[in-house]
Amino acid sequence: MPKIAVLPGDGIGQEIVPEAVKVLKAVLANSPEKFEFIEYWVGGTAIDKCGKALPEETLKGCEEADAVLLGAVGGPKWDHLPAGERPETAALLGLRKGLEFYANIRPVKMLSSLIDSSTLKKEVVENVDMVVIRELTGGVYFGEKKRIENPLSAYDMMSYSAPEIERIIRLAFEIAQDRRKKVCSVDKANVLETSRLWREIAIKVSKDYPEVELSHLYVDNAAMQLVRYPEQFDVIVTENMFGDILTDLASMLGGSIGMLSSASMNGKKGMYEPAHGSAPDIAGKNIANPLATILSAALMLRNTFGLDKEAQQIETAVVKVLDQGYRTADLTQPGDKCLGTKEMGDAVVAALG
C-alpha cells in the first residue's frame, strides 16, 4: 500500500493540507491501489508538542513513505530561537538534507482566467509557461556559518562540488527535452567562483544534449528579464539562494504565490509543497488559497506514482473552478465569487465529478 506522509506544519499549512488530502482521496477513490495517509508533526507545532522542529518519528515516517505532502513551517512565535533550532532551518532544511531532496521543481504557467490577477500587463504574462529548477541542498544555506563578537561580524560560506552542480544541470536538460528544448542557467559568474564552476559544468553537460539550447544569465539580469519578457524562458536552472529569490518573483507571473506548486525531488521520491510560507497573519481565518497545495498533490501523483491521468484530472478541475469565476481572497477581482479555503477545496472536488 503506497504511503503518503502528511505534514501540515504551521499557520495556514493546517488549513490547506487537509484540502489537498480531500482532493487526493476523491481522485483516488476508484484506484485499485489504496493509499495510506499518515500525519506527522513538523515545524513550530512540533516544537510546541515535543521540543523539536523535526522529531525523529517525523523524519523516520518520511523516510519510510513513498512521498511527502508538506504545508508550511515557521512563524513569529518561534523567531526568538537560535537559527539552527527555528522551524525554517531545523525542519525544512532538515527534511531536504535528511532525505536528499536536491532538486526543487516549480512550474509557472499563466492560466487565461487569472491574467487579470497578475500585477503585470496582460501582454507580458499571457504566454508564460516555464519551469524553474533550484538546487536545494548546497550553497550558502548549508555552508559554514559563524558570528564573531570582536570585532562584530558574521559570515556564511557558499560552496558547491562539481557532482552537486552536474546532477541539477543534467535534470534541467532532461526536463527541457520534453518541453521547448531551452535551458537558461542563472549564475553570478562575473563575481563568484562557485558561479564560474557552475557555468563551466553547465557548458560541459550541454554537450550531451545537442538538441537543447543553453543560455546563461547573471542573476540580476535574470530577475529583470522575468518581469520584462518572461515568455522567453522555458527551463531555468540555478543554485539554492538565487533560486529561492527568483521562484518567488516568478510566482507573481501566474497571478499569486498561492498558485505556485512545488516538488522537491531526490529521484522518483519527492516532497510536495506550495511555494508560499505559513502566513500566520491569515491563519485560522479560512481565507488562504489551497490551490498551490492541491496542484502540488497533482505533481505528486504524476512524478512519484506515475498517475498521469489522475494528476491531469486535478489540474483540469482547478482550471474549471477558476473558469467558473471562483477565487480565494488573494485572487479576487470585481465580479469574482470569493470562496474560503475549505469551500475552494470542496469546489475542486465537485469539479472532479
The residues that are catalytic are 141, 188, 220, 244, 248
Distance CA 89, CA 217 (A): 29
Instruction: Considering only CA atoms, give the Rg of the chain.
Output: 20
* Alpha-carbon torsion, ordered 340, 343, 345, 351, to 10 deg: -130
Contact 80, 74 (CB under 8 A): no
Q: Where are the beta strands (DSSP E) in the chain?
A: 3-9, 36-39, 67-72, 103-109, 129-135, 145-149, 152-156, 182-187, 213-218, 235-238, 263-265, 270-272, 326-327, 337-338
Cα–Cα dist 26/160, whole Å: 43
Cα separation, 290 vs 281, whole angstroms: 16
Continuous segment of H or E residues that includes residue 272: strand 270-272
Question: What DSSP designation does 35 have?
Answer: P
